[in-house]
Chains A and B, each alone.
Chain A
Amino acid sequence: MKYCAYAALCGVLLAGTVAVAAAPFVPRTDDEVLEHLPFRPNDPVVREINGLRRQLAENPQNLQIALQLARSYFAQAGGQSDPRYVGYAQAALKPWWDMAQPPAAVLLMRATLRQYGHDFTNALADLDAALKINPADIDALSLRADINLVTGDYATSRQDCERMAPYVTALTNAGCITFIEGMTGRARQSHDALLAAMSRTKTVNPDQRLWILTRLAEMAWRLNEPALAEAHFKSALALNIADGFLLAAYADFLIDYGRLQEVLVLLKDWSRADPLLLRLTLAGQMTAAKTFPEHQVALAARYAAARMRGDTTHEQEESRFSLVVMKQPQEALRLALSNWRVQREPRDARAVLEAALALKDAAAAKPVLDWMAQTGIEDWYLRKLAAQLVPAGAAK
């Protein structure tokens, strides 16, 4: 019964996360492969990194080498969606990390690593300090614009875009501005303006193209134009760049339009990355896929492991997991609201609304409803949820 199932689940979670509860073993033969490393030692990436590591070990105070190594590591954190590299990058900057006023380049890197861990407050403080040293630091302005967008401070984000404008390409500038305007009541115009800016630009590097196409797809999706969104997603996927953010966004799109089998195919080799495993689990649950039970247990174990180390960067996704898979709307609402205090993008708003709707608790969703009213965000799905939550059409 309930107790029994609960005890069994707890047991599994503990087994997955706490060493003493698991069952250690002695492998049978010396040939048994225990672990696959992300790289072979003679991989060019590793060789470059190891070269820098050696140079830094000989001269730990060399800022240029330290920054180069930190940047290389951080690039791996993004490409492999592997947070271990963020810690390695921080270690490379050890002599400067705890300084109140480190050099501007360290401030920028420290802000980059801090925002990765959702420490937006300290990241913004670092960027402010970096911009005092060099007011035209494009990288600092661009990161600050991004953080302010994610945290919902649109006015400041816009100022950063405007300050950058003289130093960046027209396309970068259009990206910066339209991301903000797309959230604040000018979705259609922003989509068209960004698309036009991209087609006017002769050489767009693939990474930038990927990012812009993903954002265009999201804008079209929010406008409830699935064919247009699909076309952008397909163009982005055709670039053949492994990008966790794109895959997660496309999978969510497919789930919303009931194309669940496509999600299972798209993500079948991506279960290592937590955000993508979540989408696999959701699609698996709705199609009663054979993989669903193991994915559910694996994901629950990973959220439990994150909680054990005091990591809260998963809250928005864990909220979806709690609501849809675990059927725990209270917990889902708690996580979604806690996440909303840190991040304010449409998907964060959606997590709050969906959990509040499950509990028929419109009052709990007030911060998000207020945000929707203030920004005037045009997102058909958020508006639908808000209208269900507050039937009197208060979803303005």
Chain B
Amino acid sequence: MMRALLFALLAFFAALAAAHKPSDSYLGVTVAGDTVRGQWDIALRDLDFAIGLDSNGNGEITWGELRARQPEIDAYALSRLTVALDGKACQPRVTEHLVDNHSDGAYAVLRFEAPCAKAGAVLTLGYNLFFDLDPQHKGLLRLEFDGATRTAIFSPDAAQQRFELTKPSRITQFFDYGREGVWHIWIGFDHILFLLSLLLPAVLVITHHQWRAVERFKTAFWDVLKIVTAFTVAHSITLSLAALGVISLPTRLTESAIALSVVLAALNNIFPLFQRRRWMVAFGFGLIHGFGFASVLADLGLPRDALLLALVGFNLGVEAGQLAIVAVFLPVAFGLRRSWFYRRVVLIGGSALISLLAAVWFVERAFNLKVLGF
């Protein structure tokens, strides 16, 4: 998949070298200690309009023509960019000249470095490229600091912008990963169904091969608490180990195993095998679900400098999402536990549906597995 798309990418740059879009430049800035480094991609068309690049007048810009004007380009661009840390100006100088293709044509790439007096907590960038020639021009900033990435847009109305480089970004980052965790449990139907399958019988008890309602809320509560805690501890362990790179399993394998765990957990309600020990099932399969969470976290991209922070944030988000589900489930189930509806339709019918659905997932995921040759 990845390879096919990359080929397509190369082909489209060759075929569609000059799409029409408004003028933008792409400014990537990284702050590391007392040095601000950057990469600035500026469209050749815009540079040609500003200072003229087509020296031989044939309507084409060659690398030779661009190289010949490089000093003027550097001077033109850098005189329209100011960089300051804590209010003290840093002087950028170009370290490398390259070329890149964007969706609308070729860009000159200036890599630059701006040494500052000392590290600071506030970065100020002033951007004034091309605004006099084209007020609709925009500078698209991608700022990286301490593993976090921010984006901003420079326009004539917002030519100077301040960026805080201190703690708040960490807290934001923490909550961002937390939110992702909640979101993932919320859209991760396989995890929800697994948990529900284990929780459904918590308000019942088997005597003489017959489900009967538990008498007291406390009994159900402790059962749920044990299951949720076991699941949480288990998936936290594998999530952490996978995220830290200690263990790695093929996603296809873990995703299929997760589907299978849902099938088994649901079947266990119809043909009870584990009753009072469902927390052990929760723990055992929870280990597998942890790998599922880890692959989501890997897709989100982990900040190198704030690995633990992101991990804890994401995990707490997952727990919060899980608790919300339990908080809704438990009172409702407890209220309905004596009814025929709960025992037959919800527990048996629901479990049958869940196991059927999860079986389809399993076949789907396992089928992909064969196709891809694992």
Residues of A that sit less than 8 Å from B by CB? 1, 3-9, 11-12, 15-20, 22-27, 29-42, 80-84, 86-88, 90-91, 94, 97, 117, 271-274, 277, 291, 293-298, 301-302, 305-306, 308-311
Q: B17 on the interface (CB 8 Å rule)?
A: yes
Q: List 29 A-B contacts (CB under 8 A).
A: A1-B365, A3-B299, A7-B299, A19-B27, A22-B102, A33-B60, A34-B62, A34-B99, A35-B45, A37-B54, A39-B59, A40-B58, A84-B20, A84-B23, A84-B46, A86-B22, A86-B136, A90-B134, A91-B134, A94-B135, A97-B135, A117-B136, A271-B15, A273-B19, A274-B21, A294-B15, A296-B8, A298-B15, A301-B103
Give the CA-CA distance A6 to B64 in the complex, in Å.
Answer: 39
Give the CA-CA distance A24 to B28 in the complex, in Å.
Answer: 13
Contacts of B351 in A (CB 8 A): none
A87 touches which of B52, B101, B136, B296 (Cβ 8 Å):
B136
Binary contact readout B1-45 vs A (1 if CB under 8 angstroms, 0 otherwise): 110111011011001111111111011100000000001110011
A15 touches which of B9, B41, B57 (Cβ 8 Å):
B9
* A297 pairs with B5, CB closer than 8 A: yes
Contacts of B24 in A (CB 8 A): 305, 308-309
Q: B248 on the interface (CB 8 Å rule)?
A: no
Contacts of B23 in A (CB 8 A): 84, 87
Question: Would you give the shortest CB distance from B318 to chain A, in whole angstroms?
Answer: 16
A81 touches which of B20, B54, B251 (Cβ 8 Å):
B20
Give the CA-CA distance A41 to B41 in the complex, in Å.
Answer: 24
Q: Which 8 A-B pairs have the closest CB atoms?
A: A30-B64, A87-B134, A19-B26, A87-B136, A20-B28, A24-B98, A27-B63, A19-B41
Can you name the residue of chain A whose Cβ is closest to the Cβ of B149? A20
Question: Would you give the shortest CB distance from B373 to chain A, in whole angstroms?
Answer: 14
Can you name the residue of chain A whose Cβ is closest to the Cβ of B38? A20
The dominant DSSP class at the B interface is mixed
Contacts of A88 in B (CB 8 A): 49, 133-134
* B60 pairs with A36, CB closer than 8 A: yes
Question: Would you give the shortest CB distance from A193 to chain B, in whole angstroms?
Answer: 36
Known contacts A30-B64, A33-B61, A36-B60; A308/B16 CB under 8 A? no
List 19 extra interface pairs beyond A24-B99, A84-B134, CB under 8 A. A6-B299, A15-B9, A17-B26, A19-B41, A19-B102, A30-B62, A31-B63, A32-B62, A34-B63, A34-B66, A37-B45, A86-B136, A87-B136, A271-B19, A272-B20, A294-B8, A294-B11, A298-B16, A310-B138
* A35 pairs with B109, CB closer than 8 A: no
B18 touches which of A32, A35, A39, A301 (Cβ 8 Å):
A35
Can you name the residue of chain A whose Cβ is closest to the Cβ of B138? A309
* A25 pairs with B100, CB closer than 8 A: yes
* A30 pairs with B295, CB closer than 8 A: no
Contacts of A308 in B (CB 8 A): 24, 140, 151, 153
A297 touches which of B12, B59, B67, B134 (Cβ 8 Å):
B12
Question: Would you give the shortest CB distance from A141 to chain B, in whole angstroms?
Answer: 27
Give the CA-CA distance A29 to B40 in the complex, in Å.
Answer: 22
* A8 pairs with B2, CB closer than 8 A: yes
* A16 pairs with B103, CB closer than 8 A: yes
Give the CA-CA distance A13 to B140 in the complex, in Å.
Answer: 15
Question: Would you give the shortest CB distance from B1 to chain A, in whole angstroms?
Answer: 5
Give the CA-CA distance A126 to B172 in the complex, in Å.
Answer: 43
Give the CA-CA distance A233 to B126 in the complex, in Å.
Answer: 51
